[in-house]
């Protein structure tokens, strides 16, 4: 059985005042069977870890190198040392804003694992690729290129985030989400064997909110969500956690 995961990506949002939201999320996070994760900006990781209770804390990126002359960057070891247990890698905003390639994401993933972090590797097609029906080709290529050979159900989570659904309020149909998640599951089983392939959790991300969470969580091979905007406020994120808990029934 895969433990469901409700993950929040705060992106470049949040100051110490936002920790009150995390505290409110932490107050309910232990009430159900789902795992809860918040990935705040790096400046808040240490303080967040101190008030997170049952909520896991993650970084949003790490450098591909372990240390050195990389001004402004953060290593996987630093994230771990600050209190993180996860790191998001290859988010489409990093792929777009920083030109991150699959090969770079793969190197970062290895670095995260060697620091003892779990990786949430993001894949997803652009609107143009979606409109040209290239979604599965793109996802297949990103999976093959971004995930190292040493993946396990313990060290890897895959997040499917269609770029055109992020922050737009547009969401694929549940059939489309199910088709992509089934495809990702099949690819993981083919590459890593059925045991590992079946144990890796697959999250959907892109305009998830309380009003669409339940139907998304009942979709084939969806083990949770990676939530942006609706994870910033406890009033928005707690109902998503509750919908995920209820999907276990």
Residue ranges that bind ligand 13P, judged by CB under 6 A: 9, 91, 161, 166-167, 205-208, 226-230
Question: 67 vs 173, which CB is nearer to ligand 13P?
Answer: 173
d(CA 219, CA 141): 23
**Count of C-beta atoms within a 10 Å radius of residue 97:** 9
Two tokens at 42?
A: 């790096």
Question: 91 vs 118, which CB is nearer to ligand 13P?
Answer: 91
Strand, helix or coil for residue 8: strand
For the four alpha carbons of 56, 64, 71 and 77, in that order, the dihedral sign comes to positive
HSE-up (13 A, CA, CB side) for residue 72: 0
Q: Looking at residue 2, what DSSP letter applies?
A: P
Paired residues of 225 in beta bridges: 6, 204
Question: 77 vs 171, which CB is nearer to ligand 13P?
Answer: 171
Q: How far is the CB of 68 from ligand 13P (least distance, A)?
A: 28
For the four alpha carbons of 223, 171, 119 and 236, in that order, the dihedral sign comes to negative
Report CA-CA distances (Å) from 51 to 54, 94, 109: 9, 28, 27
d(CA 229, CA 61): 18
Question: 189 vs 236, which CB is nearer to ligand 13P?
Answer: 236
Q: Name the residue whose CB lies closest to ligand 13P.
A: 228
Q: How far is the CB of 28 from ligand 13P (least distance, A)?
A: 20
Active site residue 132: no
Active site residue 100: no
Catalytic position from the list 77, 100, 125, 161: 161
Q: How far is the CB of 218 from ligand 13P (least distance, A)?
A: 19
**Are the beta carbons of 207 and 169 closer than 8 angstroms?**
yes
For the four alpha carbons of 140, 128, 10 and 40, in that order, the dihedral sign comes to positive
Q: How far is the CB of 209 from ligand 13P (least distance, A)?
A: 8
d(CA 59, CA 51): 16
Q: How far is the CB of 33 from ligand 13P (least distance, A)?
A: 22
Question: 207 vs 245, which CB is nearer to ligand 13P?
Answer: 207
Catalytic position from the list 35, 63, 77, 91: 91
Active site residues: 91, 161
């Amino acid at each position: 059985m895969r433990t469901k995961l409700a993950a929040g990506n705060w992106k470049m949002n949040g100051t110490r005042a936002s920790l009150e939201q995390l505290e409110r999320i932490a107050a309910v996070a232990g009430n159900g069977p789902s795992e809860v994760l918040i990935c705040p900006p790096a400046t808040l990781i240490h303080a967040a870890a101190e008030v997170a209770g049952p909520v896991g804390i993650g970084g949003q990126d790490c450098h591909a190198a372990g240390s050195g002359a990389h001004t402004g960057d953060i290593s996987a070891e630093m994230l771990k040392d600050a209190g993180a247990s996860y790191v998001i890698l290859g988010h489409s905003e990093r792929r777009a804003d920083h030109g991150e390639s699959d090969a770079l994401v793969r190197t970062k993933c290895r670095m995260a694992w060697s620091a003892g972090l779990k990786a949430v590797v993001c894949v997803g097609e652009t609107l143009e690729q979606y409109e040209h029906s290239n979604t599965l080709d793109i996802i297949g290529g990103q999976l093959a290129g971004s995930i190292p050979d040493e993946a396990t159900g313990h060290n890897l989570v895959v997040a499917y985030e269609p770029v055109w659904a992020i922050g737009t309020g547009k969401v694929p149909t549940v059939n489309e989400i199910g088709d992509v998640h089934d495809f990702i599951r099949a690819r993981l089983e083919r590459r890593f064997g059925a045991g590992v392939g079946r144990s890796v959790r697959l999250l959907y991300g892109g305009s998830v909110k309380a009003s669409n969470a339940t139907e998304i969580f009942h979709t084939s091979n969806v083990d949770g969500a990676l939530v942006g905007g609706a994870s910033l406020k406890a009033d928005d994120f707690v109902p998503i956690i509750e919908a995920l808990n209820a999907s276990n029934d």
